[in-house]
Structure 1
């Protein structure tokens, strides 16, 4: 893998041509969550509060746990600044000011879609799935105010469609964020997204927040939503976020191992609000359980046309999950109509972390199910998207092309034949 201090550029992909990045990001500006919000909700859910002349994010009367404020009002990190940290090659102390060294005004391509297209041309990108930076971290902290969380995300999706589009020039595929908290509203929001050309939608990879507590997203109560997803042929792409529904689990794990709370005390050498040891135990726990739930609770058996792409969740959890599903089926005859391992492989795509071993992931998934995602321009991603090619040195040119372009292109641009329910 290319070090964060170097950059290969698009020449690495010359033999492939322009590539398709399944994990690109913008930084949300100051009005992303407020421009289209119902005024009745301006003081509920995620609030944008002026402190000393600069907007900050608040949930109620408390600052958001990890997000300082809008991307156009706060210094941003250098793309790729955390690559060595997440690769285990350095610690936080080596970063200097690289997590707050970029002036937003110097990077119009982080905020403007036409500027981003020019940047994509220079980077050798044919197309991208464009994900939020902040919107993936707001639904959990807004709980238990379900109405506010639904409204904040509804307003956000309208900003996204207006500023970035859901299929801008068939190159920038903005990914709207849906919540299943109220089934009727979830279906209505999905319909709005479809009416405006969405090809990919995102949901939290965690349990659904409802008025009666959390529930499995594969609960039959949500079948009307999944039926419409299948009918439309749209891709569902869960993206890692923050406080995604395992807060109580994390606290229980922390207490079990002698911690008063999962939140760290004092100064630690970790880029997390969680105790480092607890963070280690919980890493990949949620996406592993979410992905297992979709299979074990029969979602793919009821809706054989669904396609789910796991983005910025890494890939090291896939092998252990498939092993567990294999054992589950063997030990519980009749639980599955067909192999749960085969179900996962048929219906699920995975974008590994940029520091992951793609060779290791390919031991468990065929290359047809592996996606290239650079996480650009985030600090934990790559300095340049095509630096990812260094992870594919052992793959054939045909397999490199499939991972770097064809898989995401086929998911996005070709709708499957309708599946019977």
Structure 2
């Protein structure tokens, strides 16, 4: 990285560009790869080019309610875009473990609280990270995870909105703030030239990780392209050259409008509002499965051998099925693969499993050095205390626990361990 980040084993020295001149940060406690903030209401409007005012995200009021429009259409990815009140961290734990007691209505588990400053203030959040006995955290979007799908049919507005959001993110959180908060700016490949320009700007601001939606790349007129299409090689090359990790985080990947719709289920993904059971099952983890498949099959890792990607908040059960399919295909069309797909995955892909999954099976499959701790804090479906994740690691020895809880995340971030 060409900016002012200087590394030693387990330490990061940050210059004034990251606003903490001469600070040396030691990472001797867990590092969470899956923390979230709650966006302020002007996250997409504060820096938006005025030419896209009515084509991007707009804030409107209807009675006492604040709502958002995306390209003039009601944007319902989050029920309350002010996030006040907001879901209590970890309140849905039993629901996502599938352990709701008999006789308890699962809907009764939902609890809300006033918006806490740690969800929107970086200095309060750093104190919270310390209280939670962690060294640092990767911070990912909440509301923004639905924006690319909402604006995919207007690519210029989409790209302008992403740039505006990333400038807001730098204002509010910084990309490597005090070496404790690594906020991941958004990146869309929909306009490859614009994406490269955005990466160049982000690299100048010490970015270590970008968030990319696991989904086909919008190509206009309702069409899409594989992330492995060679038209995007300039984007992958710039990320690899800049040593920037790519985080594929659970998002609205558009599968409701394709897969679920084909089965007669609702064609829009609106979390927490009358969820379709059928859509939940037929969509499931298909997006991340297909995303990683596209990278392997279409040769992204072969052409960009230093590229690092991570699957965050997509679970891990999809990986064994993907590997089975890739290996079968490699046997049938060996000319399409340069090596055993497992070797490719083990070299390039980090995975943060859901805490309720079989983490031992994941480690056996992809290697202990590619498993990362992620809490999803402060979301309701995550953990109430991030480091409670360690309670799920009883089958691992102390060194392996340290790898999962700390050093693997640092490795993904490109911080020497």
Report the TM-score range of the alignment, normalised by the length of the smaller protein: 0.7 to 0.9
Counterpart mapping for 1:280-319 below 5 A: 280-319=281-320
For residues 212-264 of structure 1, what are the alpha-carbon distances to aligned partners after superposition, in whole Å with 9 as ceiling and x for unaligned?
A: 62000110011111111111111011111114456223322x1xxxx365569
Aligned match for 1:233, one of 243, 246, 250: 243
Name which of structure 1's ranges 239-248 and 293-302 shifts more when overlaid on structure 2: 239-248
Counterpart mapping for 1:101-250 below 5 A: 101-104=112-115, 107-211=116-220, 213-244=223-254, 247-250=257-260
Q: Residue 308 of structure 1 contacts residue 349 of structure 1 at CA under 8 Å; is this kept in 2? A: yes
In 1: Cα distance, 2:274 partner to 2:296 partner: 31
Q: Which position in structure 2 is the counterpart of 1:21? A: 32
Q: Residue 174 of structure 2 contacts residue 183 of structure 2 at CA under 8 Å; is this kept in 1? A: yes
Shift of residue 272, structure 1, vs aligned partner: 6.0
Q: Which position in structure 1 is the counterpart of 2:89? A: 79
Normalised by the size of structure 1, how large is the TM-score? 0.87
Q: Which position in structure 1 is the counterpart of 2:13? A: none
Between structures 1 and 2, the one with greater strand share:
2
Q: Residue 218 of structure 1 contacts residue 298 of structure 1 at CA under 8 Å; is this kept in 2? A: yes
Shift of residue 360, structure 1, vs aligned partner: 2.4
Q: Which position in structure 2 is the counterpart of 1:323? A: 324
Q: Residue 209 of structure 2 contacts residue 245 of structure 2 at CA under 8 Å; is this kept in 1? A: yes
Shift of residue 296, structure 1, vs aligned partner: 0.6
For residues 337-362 of structure 1, what are the alpha-carbon distances to aligned partners after superposition, in whole Å with 9 as ceiling and x for unaligned?
A: 11222101110000011222212212
- Segments ≥4 residues shifted beyond 6 Å: none
Q: Secondary structure of the equivalent of 1:225? A: helix
For residues 269-319 of structure 1, what are the alpha-carbon distances to aligned partners after superposition, in whole Å with 9 as ceiling and x for unaligned?
A: x94655212321221111101111100111111111110011111111111
In 1: Cα distance, 2:36 partner to 2:265 partner: 36
In 1: Cα distance, 2:110 partner to 2:219 partner: 39
In 1: Cα distance, 2:31 partner to 2:268 partner: 38
In 1: Cα distance, 2:391 partner to 2:72 partner: 46
Q: Secondary structure of the equivalent of 2:353? A: coil
Normalised by the size of structure 2, how large is the TM-score? 0.88
In 2: Cα distance, 1:112 partner to 1:260 partner: 39
Q: Residue 187 of structure 1 contacts residue 225 of structure 1 at CA under 8 Å; is this kept in 2? A: yes
Q: Which position in structure 2 is the counterpart of 1:396? A: 397
In 2: Cα distance, 1:130 partner to 1:263 partner: 26
Structure 1 pair 96–20 and aligned structure 2 pair: CA distance change class (3 A): same
Q: Which position in structure 2 is the counterpart of 1:93? A: 105
For residues 134-167 of structure 1, what are the alpha-carbon distances to aligned partners after superposition, in whole Å with 9 as ceiling and x for unaligned?
A: 1111110223111111111110000001110000
Q: Secondary structure of the equivalent of 1:214? A: strand
Q: Residue 249 of structure 2 contacts residue 314 of structure 2 at CA under 8 Å; is this kept in 1? A: yes
Q: Which position in structure 2 is the counterpart of 1:12? A: none
Let me know the Cα RMSD of the aligned residues: 2.1
Q: Which position in structure 2 is the counterpart of 1:8? A: none
Q: Which position in structure 1 is the counterpart of 2:373? A: 372
Q: Secondary structure of the equivalent of 1:96? A: helix
